[in-house]
Structure 1
C-alpha cells in the first residue's frame, strides 16, 4: 500500500470526525484511524469535533490529543449544534488538500481511507463517496427507507449514487470548502457539491460497514420526513438558485392564467348569455386563482431582487473556477 500511495501527487490529508456523546468510541476510533493510516506516506491530521457532548467525550478527546500528539486536534463546540454544523466546523478547521469525513461510531472503517484518497487523486475527482454495499443495519428501519431515499435523491438531483447516507467521503479540499453546510445538509453533500462542480467528478467506492459497537443511533424512522422536506429545498436550490423568479413566476403565471380563463368564461355567461354567476363557486375559484397568480409573480420579482443583491455584493459567486491562477492580473499574455 505504501508504494502505491507514494506514487500519488504530494498532498496533505485531514480526517474530520464529528462526535456527540460517544465517550466509549473515542479511544478505539482514534486508534483505528492511526492503524488505517500507519503506512500513509504523506502528512495527515485528525480533526475531531465534539458537538456539545454531555458525557465524557471532551475529556477523552483531550487525553487522546496528549497521547498521540499535535496532529490530533479536538474542536469543542459550545453546545450541541447538530451534525451538519459540527461537520462544517471540522471542514473549516481542516488544513489538508484532501479532506475525509467519517462517523465516530466505528461503523465506518478508516482502513478504506487510503484507497478512497488514491482514487480521488488518480482519477482527478472532487468527491469519492463511500458505498455501504453490505450494510450492518436493521432491514426495515434502516435499509429499506435508505434505499428508497437514495433512489429518490439520485433521480431528483441527477447525482447517481447508491448510498447518500454514508459519512465516509473523500473530498478535494478546495471544492468542499466552497460549499457552506447549513441545517441538516450533510445528508445531501454530493448534491450540494454538484452546484459547484460537475457530477462526472463525483464517484463512489465500496467500503466496509460494521455493526454499531457502542451507544445508540441518533437517527430514527422520523428522519424520513425531514429528508423529504430537505430534498425539496435541495431541488429548488439546484435548479433555481440564481433565478428564483422563474420558479415563482411560472407558478404565478399558471395560476393567473387558469383564473383568467375562469373569469373570462363567467363573463361570457354573465354579459352574453345573461346568466347569474353570483352564487357560483367557480367565481370564487377564479378570483382567488388570479390573486394567487399576482402574489406569486410579485414574490418572484422580490426573490430576483434579493438574489441579485446577494450575488452582486460578493456574498456568493455564480460560478467557481478550477484554475484561479488563470485570472491573475498580469501582463504576460501581451508578450
Structure 2
C-alpha cells in the first residue's frame, strides 16, 4: 500500500540540522498522517551527514528511506532522485536547513486536497542573504516568463505535488533537471500557499549569484526557446540593417561618382549574405537544440551509491 504522503529532502553537509529536522517532521506527521515516508538523499556530503542518516534510519525504521549519491550532483538532481524513490500520493519537497518549517507542511497538503496539482510555498519574508535573494529573483523572472505565471507568483523549493505530476516530471529526465520547471510542465492547476520562512540556524547557503545565473542559463536553454528567438530577432534586425544599408549604397552609387569600381555591389552582397548566413545558422540552431534535448534525456542525471529502504 502506497503511503499518503512523501517528504523528499536533498541533503548536503547538514550533519547538525538533520536530527532536529527529522524530529520535527516526525512530531508533525505522526499527529496528522497515518501513512507517510521521509525520503532523504545525501548529495555527496563532505561532512558526517551520511553517518547521521544511517543512525536516524536505525532509530526511525521504515518511516525513513535514505539514499546516497555516488558524487555530488547538485540539489535538483538529488531532488529528482528523491522524487523517483518516493511513493506517496502527495509529494512534498523541502530544504534540509530548517528554513522550511515542518509545521507548515499541512498547509501545502490541504491545497492539494482542495484540487490543485501543484502548491508552492510563498514566504511571508525571505530570510536568505541579499545575493541569494537577487539570484532567486532572476530565476523567478525567467520561470514566470516561460510558464506565463501571474505577476507576483512566488517560486520556492517548498512545494507539494500530486503523484501523476511527479511521475510525469520524473519521466522527462534530462541531464540538467530544473524541478520547478518540470513540475509546472506537468501541472494544469497551481497555487501559492503562504508559509513561514525561518532564518538559517547553521552554516551558510551553497547558492550565490553566480550559481543563480548558471541556473537561469540552464532553465532558458533546457526548458524554453528564448535564446533561439532572441537570435532570430537579432538576425532579422541585422537583415533589415543590411537591406537599408544596401539601398543607401545603391542610391549613392547612382547619384555620386564612386572611384572604386565594384565597391557598391560588393558591400551590398556581403551585407546581404552575412545576414542570410546568420539566419541559416539560427535555423540549424533550432534543430540542434531539439536534437540535444532528445539525446540528453537518455542519460542519467545521478547515480545512487547506497540505498536503505
Q: 2:203 aligns with which of 174, 199, 215?
A: 215
Quote the residue 1:265 is aligned against: 248
Q: By how many angstroms is 1:126 displaced?
A: 1.5
Q: How does 1:125-164 map to 2 (within 5 A)?
A: 125-138=116-129, 140-143=130-133, 146=136, 150=140, 153-154=143-144, 157-160=147-150, 161-164=152-155
Say whether 1:70 aligns with 2:58: no
Task: Rate the CA distance shift 1:260–1:89 in 2: closer, same or farther, 3 A.
Answer: same
Which deviations, in whole Å up to 9, do the C-alpha atoms of 1:30-68 show, x marking residues without a partner? 111111101233421111000001111111111111111
Instruction: Give the CA RMSD over aligned residues.
Output: 3.6
Given that 1:53 and 1:80 are in contact with CA atoms closer than 8 Å, whether structure 2 keeps it comes out as: yes
Given that 1:101 and 1:170 are in contact with CA atoms closer than 8 Å, whether structure 2 keeps it comes out as: yes
Q: Which runs of 5+ in 2 are unaligned?
A: 299-309
Q: 1:94 aligns with which of 86, 94, 108?
A: 86
Separation (CA, whole Å) in 1 of partners of 2:290 and 2:36: 39
Say whether 1:169 aligns with 2:159: yes
Quote the residue 2:238 is aligned against: 255
Q: Which runs of 5+ in 1 are unaligned?
A: 1-9, 317-335
Task: Rate the CA distance shift 1:265–1:192 in 2: closer, same or farther, 3 A.
Answer: farther
Separation (CA, whole Å) in 2 of partners of 1:212 and 1:78: 27
Given that 1:84 and 1:182 are in contact with CA atoms closer than 8 Å, whether structure 2 keeps it comes out as: no
Q: By how many angstroms is 1:143 displaced?
A: 4.6
Say whether 1:183 aligns with 2:208: no
Quote the residue 2:50 is aligned against: 58
Task: Rate the CA distance shift 1:42–1:275 in 2: closer, same or farther, 3 A.
Answer: farther
Which of structure 1's runs of 4+ aligned residues deviate more than 6 A?
A: 277-280, 283-286, 308-311
Provide the secondary structure at the position in 2 that maps to 1:217. coil
Task: Rate the CA distance shift 1:174–1:156 in 2: closer, same or farther, 3 A.
Answer: closer
Say whether 1:80 aligns with 2:72: yes
Q: By how many angstroms is 1:119 displaced?
A: 1.1
Q: 2:108 aligns with which of 116, 128, 146?
A: 116
Q: By how many angstroms is 1:233 displaced?
A: 3.3
Separation (CA, whole Å) in 2 of partners of 1:239 and 1:178: 21
Q: By how many angstroms is 1:279 displaced?
A: 12
Given that 1:48 and 1:90 are in contact with CA atoms closer than 8 Å, whether structure 2 keeps it comes out as: yes
Q: By how many angstroms is 1:252 displaced?
A: 3.3
Separation (CA, whole Å) in 2 of partners of 1:88 and 1:285: 53
Q: By how many angstroms is 1:125 displaced?
A: 1.2
Report the TM-score, using the length of structure 2 for normalisation: 0.78
Task: Rate the CA distance shift 1:278–1:143 in 2: closer, same or farther, 3 A.
Answer: farther
Q: By how many angstroms is 1:248 displaced?
A: 5.2
- RCO (CA 8 Å, sep 6+): is it higher in 1 or 2? 2
Q: How many residues align?
A: 292
Given that 2:246 and 2:271 are in contact with CA atoms closer than 8 Å, whether structure 1 keeps it comes out as: no
Provide the secondary structure at the position in 1 that maps to 2:62. coil
Which deviations, in whole Å up to 9, do the C-alpha atoms of 1:76-123 show, x marking residues without a partner? 10011111111111111111221110011111111211221121121x
Task: Rate the CA distance shift 1:289–1:195 in 2: closer, same or farther, 3 A.
Answer: farther
Report the TM-score, using the length of structure 1 for normalisation: 0.73
Separation (CA, whole Å) in 1 of partners of 2:284 and 2:128: 47
